[in-house]
Chain A
Amino acid sequence: MTMTRRQLVASIPVAALAAGLPRGATAQDGRKVVTFWFGQANSDGQAALRNDLVEAFNASQDKYLLQLEVKGAAVNNLLKVALVAGNGPDIVQTAGPAYLTAIANAGQVLPLDDFAEKYKWKERFLAPLLNTSVYGGKLYALPRDYESMHLFYNKELFKQNGWKLPTNRKEMEEVADAALAKGIIPFGAGNADWKGVNEWLMTVFFNNVAGPDNVRKALAGELPWTAPPFVEAVELSKAWYNKGYFGKNYFSLTIEQSFLQVVNSKAAMAFSGTWSFGTKSYGMSKPDTVMDVAPTPTLGSAFSGSLVHLACGATLSIAKTSQNAEGAAAVFEFMLTRKFYETMNRDWPGKWALPVKDLPPEMLSGIGYPLFEKTIANLHEAFSKGQYGFTTWTFWPGATNSYLIEGIEQVWLNKITPDAYLTRMQTLFSQEAREGKVPPLPPRTA
């Protein structure tokens, strides 16, 4: 059949589109391609992804070929657009349940219940984390990791100054005041490269001042965000900011710069998450590290002791339009193997701590990272027992969470009052609750 010039010209865009569509593609060796987009990853992380996930999975079987693309910080936006256009990757990774809610409600990802039954995922994952991805009784994602805010501190600095690890607000403020008096920043903190640091801090203030039970009630719509425990939490955060507990340069320092202040004894402590274990420049994996870590202590009267915060830093789903859902599920199952769990956590600690019962934290012993190993063990235990607070990036709906991050700067910089901040938060939360945008809460007990 001959082709006219017009037909030839018309076929060019079609051919170009076809060439750019990896979906449902078959590799040269006959394997079906599974596509996976990843967000930000430093060079160590990219190497770990390539070696421990892509190459290891592709070598482990001969039916599927995993293809991974690192898309950068804008991956969440790209993903939404691609899913609406029906041209996203097979494996849909989101930045947590708060991001998953809109995608799952829109039916852009497949229910995983059949795969969950086949691979026994519901029996294997820790229930509190798995339940963050259940909508209308259907499972739409697997949690990729568990995270929590912790109190990181320079144990050598504490020892030199005779400070004890604080167990409540009074002791915390005593250490902070003593540090300030010596010209040491009480808490290394900075949000110049990531405004989300605001919510890391507010997760601690809301949960550790108001208490996790009150936070749960508010998330369930049983207590307004304007209630006195939350006012106290926001006022304390403002008081600490204004006293200089977070240093003079909170808005100028990057996350790494501020954490290194603690490592270099210029700051005493830092409220940060378990992801900090993955940054090699902090040197926390070394046997002679000056750093130590503990769950965050109570900062109010709602509870005593300390608290970890339930967080799922990323979820894994399968696109509704995936041509290779079986292959995507096979990749998930590969991630649950002991070998992957050990190698990934050794090479990129904190990013892929799968909350799976048959991958207990003891398996990580011997990877040469005592602080990480003990933290994951504590988290595993706390989440198993149902003793946890709630992180904003996992349980707050999108607009409310965005305001939580942006608005608290107005409070700290005296542009609005804590009452005005919480009133606005309540307004947004009520609206999103009506629209079904609040991520699901886990059951009270595991």
Chain B
Amino acid sequence: MWLFALPALLINICIILVPAVLTFTAAFFIWDGVGTPVWAGLANFQNMVADPVFWSALTNNFIWTAIFLTVPVCLALVMAAALLMAPKARIVVQSIIFLPRIIAVAVTGRIFQGMIFSPATGIVAWLNEHGFSISDPLADPDRSLYAVAAVDIWHWWGFLAVVFLSAMRQISVDQIEAARLDGAGFFALFRYVLIPGIRPTLTLMLILTVIWSFQVFEFIFIITRGGPAYGSEVLATFAYRHAFFEGDVGQAAAAACVMSLFGLCATAVYLWLQITDDAQST
């Protein structure tokens, strides 16, 4: 049996385990990325926690997680339930809401930056010309994180809806029809049949959302680079800046360890839930 697992195991060791161990090790060294690493003990972690930007980045990761655990999930659940009830519209609507997912992140980022939010060339500019006083949210440190989150939600929620719809279609039709015969309306059906029916999928997506939220990088880096004034800085942009602009790979690795810690916690919760479910079902 081990022989069957060997190719996948080798790939995982080479491209996941080895870089992960090296990153963890680098967190204990001072290294500029080209010279000889020097042992630093816990200095990178001490410097990191003394940096107020680290704490604002961590806070932004929590805000991002809270947004993505609620807004796109709620949107996707409602849309999936609606599509379950309206099978004729499924193909067209699914195609439309899935479309943002297949557009490259860089393209999506540039579209929102230049064609929507820009006060020179975007819809914001048009609205300003027509009497609405709206500023570019990307230029405001207190709103930039939410503006980028809105772009990512646009990119993400349709995919989530399609996943939830697939899960809902596994629910027994008899169960749904029985609920309807008992007088359940849309929201009762949603609350007492559909949500419980897709609980394993929902749990998995929520856990993955937590993991991905602590790794978020592309949209923020492309659209705001963590700014302005660190307003949209998250741990990944914090780490990238330290590694590639400040030549401080050790500090970047320390930040990466913190990111991984939250991912590990989320994975542990998922495994615990799985074990609990297995125990209950046997």
Q: Which residues of A contact B (CB under 8 A)?
A: 76-77, 80-81, 83-84, 102-103, 105-106, 108, 192, 195, 248-253, 257, 398-399, 402-403, 406, 409-410, 412-413, 415, 437
Contacts and interface: CB of A to CB of B under 8 A. Distances in A.
A102 B230 contact: no
A142 B143 CA distance: 44
B141 interface: yes
A253 B118 CA distance: 7
A135 to B, nearest CB: 13
Contacts of B118: 192, 252-253
The dominant DSSP class at the B interface is loop
Contacts of A250: 139
A102 B32 CA distance: 7
A413 B32 contact: no
Interface stretch (B148-156, B186-194, B239-247): B239-247
A422 to B, nearest CB: 16
Nearest to B32: A102
Given A251-B138, A399-B246, A415-B230, 16 more contacts: A102-B34, A102-B35, A106-B34, A106-B35, A192-B113, A248-B119, A249-B139, A251-B139, A252-B120, A252-B139, A257-B121, A403-B246, A409-B227, A413-B141, A413-B229, A415-B141
Contacts of A399: 246-248
Interface in B101-154: 113, 117-121, 135-136, 138-139, 141
23 contacts: A83-B34, A84-B33, A102-B34, A106-B35, A108-B34, A192-B113, A248-B119, A249-B120, A251-B136, A252-B119, A252-B120, A252-B138, A257-B120, A257-B121, A398-B32, A399-B246, A399-B247, A402-B245, A406-B230, A409-B228, A409-B230, A412-B229, A413-B228
A398 B249 CA distance: 12
* B34, B118, B226 pick with most chain A CB within 10 angstroms: B34
Nearest to A109: B34
A103 B135 CA distance: 43
Contacts of A105: 35
Contacts of A412: 229
A248 B118 CA distance: 12
B139 to A, nearest CB: 4
* A80, A83, A192, A249 pick with most chain B CB within 10 angstroms: A192
A76 B244 contact: yes
Interface of B: 32-36, 113, 117-121, 135-136, 138-139, 141, 225-230, 241, 244-248
A119 B124 CA distance: 57
Contacts of B120: 249, 252-253, 257
A44 B164 CA distance: 49
5 nearest A-B pairs in the assembled complex, by CB-CB distance: A251-B139, A106-B35, A399-B246, A409-B229, A106-B34
A238 to B, nearest CB: 12
A102 B33 contact: yes
A437 B247 CA distance: 10
A108 B118 CA distance: 42
A398 B247 contact: yes
Given A106-B36, A413-B228, A252 B247 contact: no
Contacts of A77: 244
Nearest to A261: B120
Nearest to B56: A415
A198 B117 CA distance: 21
A102 B246 CA distance: 11
B139 A398 contact: no
A105 B117 CA distance: 44
Contacts of A192: 113, 118, 138
B29 to A, nearest CB: 13
* B139, B230, B244 pick with most chain A CB within 10 angstroms: B139
Nearest to B53: A406
Contacts of B246: 398-399, 402-403
A141 B92 CA distance: 60
Contacts of B141: 409, 413, 415
Given A102-B247, A399-B246, A413-B141, A251 B34 contact: no
B234 to A, nearest CB: 14
B35 A252 contact: no
A101 to B, nearest CB: 9
Contacts of B117: 252
B88 to A, nearest CB: 43
Given A195-B225, A250-B139, A398-B247, A406 B241 contact: yes
B33 A80 contact: yes
Contacts of A410: 229-230
A396 to B, nearest CB: 11
A105 B135 CA distance: 46
Contacts of A248: 119, 135
B34 A252 contact: no
A415 B229 contact: yes
Contact of B136 (A76, A81, A252): A252
Contact of A84 (B34, B135, B230, B245): B34
A398 B245 contact: yes
Contacts of A413: 141, 228-229
A195 B36 contact: no
A251 B228 contact: yes
Contacts of A398: 32, 245-247
B57 to A, nearest CB: 12
A330 B36 CA distance: 31
A257 B33 CA distance: 35
A412 B228 CA distance: 10
Contacts of B138: 192, 251-252
Nearest to A413: B229
A250 B141 CA distance: 13
Nearest to B243: A77
